[in-house]
Structure 1
Amino acid sequence: MWAIFFRRSEFVEGIALEDRKTVTADWYTTICLLKVFSVIERQPLRTREFLQNHRIGTLPHPPYSPDLAPCDFWLFPKLKDQLRGRRFFSNEELIGALFLAIEEIPKEEWKCALIPGLNA
């Protein structure tokens, strides 16, 4: 399993969840966010604390809204289309192809994932 992070215009980071472990607040804040914030040059904090401390507002969303999971409704289908029909003989080969496919997504298309209804 992977945690994928991106901005309106670009991919930021992908972090693997090793050995089929469970995603926990501890893993998310001390491992996952640590890597993400090192990429965007910020210090890791618990998610809610980080958002509050940096005055980042959150929006109320209904449960199961596609706006809550742009990876599920935008990124993953796009990647599946690009990788469909290919065979990979190792995890490394798959991961390499996956990140190459991510890099090939034009910056304009990233906005589609974060602004519902916007077509690139």
Structure 2
Amino acid sequence: MEKKVSTTAEIRSHIKACAKLKKSAMETFEEVHNIYGDQQPSYRTVSRWLKKFKDERESVKDDVRSGRPKTPQRKFNNKVWMTKHGKRPVIAKRCQSTKKILYAIFFDREGVVLQFPIPEKKSVTGKMYKYKILHKLKQQYKKKRPKTGIKGIFLLHDNAPAHKSKLVTDFLSKEGVIVIPHPAYSPDLSPCDFFSIHKT
């Protein structure tokens, strides 16, 4: 027997009729399968719609959903009236915005100590953090504290792989930097919070 070509609404109407006859989900699924063959929805879908109709739903259509329409509107919006020999107007295209720059910034209670721009298309590795960033920080503290330099400062940074690498932890330990433990999944202090730490 040739299977009937059907629409979604038609199949849902059949499920609705089964709901009126108080048939079970399995009975309804088998009946739909026998009538519509490969076009029938899954058992889960049949069961879901059967429950909706038993809960007194009447419409077999999908609920209206908010959000972006499925059909792209850009080409439609770009349509213009033109004369036979007229030239199509130039349509403005969105330009690439200004590129963002990632910084490694260090603060103490007096303000910003170091701002280090991360090179474009580079990620912060343990090697970069030690030889580029922490080395620069060490130089800054040598100017601020000629006698002790970076030794004895308290450093709070998160648990990023670069910060936890052996290369970095060994360097900080050797330089006498005291690393403040940072609990896992704990948010970093906001830069403005550092300025609320008053001098003692």
Q: TM-score, normalised by structure 1?
A: 0.50
Higher Rg of the two aligned structures: 2
Give the structure, 1 or 2, with the largest relative contact order (CA under 8 Å, sep 6 or more). 1
